[in-house]
Amino acid sequence: MQTGATERLHQARANIRQAMHHWDPASLDRVEASRVLLERAVAEMRSFECALRHGGVEASAEVRSTLIALKQEILLATRAVDTCMAFYRGLGAILGGVTPGYDAGGRHFAETAHLELGMHG
Protein backbone atom coordinates (compact mmCIF):
# COMPACT_ATOMS: atom_id res chain seq x y z
CA MET A 1 0.00 0.00 0.00
CA GLN A 2 1.37 3.39 -0.97
CA THR A 3 1.50 6.23 1.47
CA GLY A 4 0.13 9.64 0.54
CA ALA A 5 3.70 10.92 0.20
CA THR A 6 4.68 8.13 -2.17
CA GLU A 7 1.56 8.78 -4.21
CA ARG A 8 2.69 12.40 -4.56
CA LEU A 9 5.97 11.17 -5.98
CA HIS A 10 4.10 9.09 -8.56
CA GLN A 11 1.89 12.08 -9.38
CA ALA A 12 4.99 14.24 -9.91
CA ARG A 13 6.27 11.68 -12.42
CA ALA A 14 2.91 11.60 -14.16
CA ASN A 15 2.86 15.39 -14.44
CA ILE A 16 6.36 15.47 -15.92
CA ARG A 17 5.53 12.73 -18.44
CA GLN A 18 2.33 14.53 -19.43
CA ALA A 19 4.16 17.86 -19.77
CA MET A 20 6.76 16.32 -22.07
CA HIS A 21 4.11 14.44 -24.06
CA HIS A 22 2.35 17.73 -24.81
CA TRP A 23 5.56 19.79 -25.17
CA ASP A 24 5.64 21.81 -28.39
CA PRO A 25 7.98 24.80 -28.32
CA ALA A 26 6.33 26.22 -31.44
CA SER A 27 3.01 26.61 -29.60
CA LEU A 28 2.96 29.05 -26.69
CA ASP A 29 -0.34 27.55 -25.51
CA ARG A 30 1.23 24.09 -25.31
CA VAL A 31 4.35 25.48 -23.63
CA GLU A 32 2.12 27.20 -21.07
CA ALA A 33 0.20 23.96 -20.44
CA SER A 34 3.50 22.12 -19.97
CA ARG A 35 4.73 24.83 -17.60
CA VAL A 36 1.63 24.42 -15.43
CA LEU A 37 2.15 20.64 -15.31
CA LEU A 38 5.81 21.08 -14.38
CA GLU A 39 4.87 23.50 -11.59
CA ARG A 40 2.45 20.89 -10.26
CA ALA A 41 5.23 18.31 -10.37
CA VAL A 42 7.46 20.62 -8.34
CA ALA A 43 4.71 21.09 -5.75
CA GLU A 44 4.26 17.30 -5.51
CA MET A 45 8.01 16.80 -5.10
CA ARG A 46 8.15 19.45 -2.37
CA SER A 47 5.35 17.70 -0.52
CA PHE A 48 7.17 14.38 -0.85
CA GLU A 49 10.42 15.97 0.38
CA CYS A 50 8.64 17.42 3.40
CA ALA A 51 7.19 14.00 4.28
CA LEU A 52 10.60 12.40 3.77
CA ARG A 53 12.27 14.90 6.11
CA HIS A 54 9.65 14.28 8.78
CA GLY A 55 9.79 10.48 8.62
CA GLY A 56 6.53 10.00 6.73
CA VAL A 57 8.15 7.91 4.00
CA GLU A 58 9.73 4.50 4.28
CA ALA A 59 12.96 4.23 2.27
CA SER A 60 11.88 1.18 0.30
CA ALA A 61 13.23 -0.24 -2.94
CA GLU A 62 10.10 1.05 -4.70
CA VAL A 63 10.71 4.60 -3.47
CA ARG A 64 14.35 4.44 -4.55
CA SER A 65 13.50 3.15 -8.03
CA THR A 66 10.76 5.78 -8.41
CA LEU A 67 13.22 8.52 -7.40
CA ILE A 68 15.77 7.27 -9.94
CA ALA A 69 13.12 7.23 -12.69
CA LEU A 70 11.95 10.69 -11.64
CA LYS A 71 15.50 12.00 -11.82
CA GLN A 72 15.85 10.66 -15.38
CA GLU A 73 12.56 12.25 -16.44
CA ILE A 74 13.60 15.58 -14.93
CA LEU A 75 16.90 15.43 -16.84
CA LEU A 76 15.05 14.76 -20.12
CA ALA A 77 12.60 17.61 -19.47
CA THR A 78 15.48 19.94 -18.59
CA ARG A 79 17.29 19.05 -21.81
CA ALA A 80 14.16 19.71 -23.88
CA VAL A 81 13.59 23.12 -22.31
CA ASP A 82 17.29 24.06 -22.45
CA THR A 83 17.48 23.08 -26.11
CA CYS A 84 14.52 25.29 -26.94
CA MET A 85 15.98 28.18 -24.97
CA ALA A 86 19.30 27.82 -26.80
CA PHE A 87 17.42 27.94 -30.09
CA TYR A 88 15.58 31.12 -29.10
CA ARG A 89 18.78 32.77 -27.84
CA GLY A 90 20.42 31.96 -31.18
CA LEU A 91 17.41 33.26 -33.05
CA GLY A 92 17.62 36.47 -31.02
CA ALA A 93 21.27 36.87 -31.98
CA ILE A 94 20.43 36.38 -35.65
CA LEU A 95 17.65 38.97 -35.38
CA GLY A 96 20.02 41.55 -33.95
CA GLY A 97 19.76 41.02 -30.24
CA VAL A 98 15.97 40.86 -29.91
CA THR A 99 15.46 37.97 -27.53
CA PRO A 100 12.28 36.40 -26.21
CA GLY A 101 11.45 37.41 -22.66
CA TYR A 102 9.76 35.63 -19.78
CA ASP A 103 8.14 36.86 -16.61
CA ALA A 104 8.87 35.46 -13.14
CA GLY A 105 6.33 32.67 -13.71
CA GLY A 106 8.06 31.56 -16.90
CA ARG A 107 5.38 32.99 -19.19
CA HIS A 108 6.57 34.53 -22.46
CA PHE A 109 6.26 38.26 -23.15
CA ALA A 110 7.60 40.46 -25.91
CA GLU A 111 10.53 42.70 -25.08
CA THR A 112 9.61 45.83 -27.00
CA ALA A 113 10.75 48.70 -24.78
CA HIS A 114 13.87 49.44 -26.82
CA LEU A 115 11.87 49.22 -30.07
CA GLU A 116 9.28 51.72 -28.78
CA LEU A 117 12.02 54.14 -27.76
CA GLY A 118 13.41 54.03 -31.28
CA MET A 119 9.97 54.60 -32.79
CA HIS A 120 9.19 57.62 -30.60
CA GLY A 121 12.62 59.16 -30.98
User: Which pLDDT value is given to residue 98?
Assistant: 61
The domain locations on the chain are 4-120
10-24 tens-digit pLDDT: 999 999 999 999 888
pLDDT exceeds cutoff 50 at 117: no
The pLDDT mean for the chain works out to 78
Instruction: Judge whether 13 and 65 are in contact, CB under 8 Å.
Output: no
82-93 tens-digit pLDDT: 887 777 777 667
Q: Can you tell me whether residue 88 is helix, strand or coil? A: helix
pTM to 2 decimals? 0.66
Alpha helix ranges (H) inside the chain: 4-22, 28-53, 61-94, 113-120
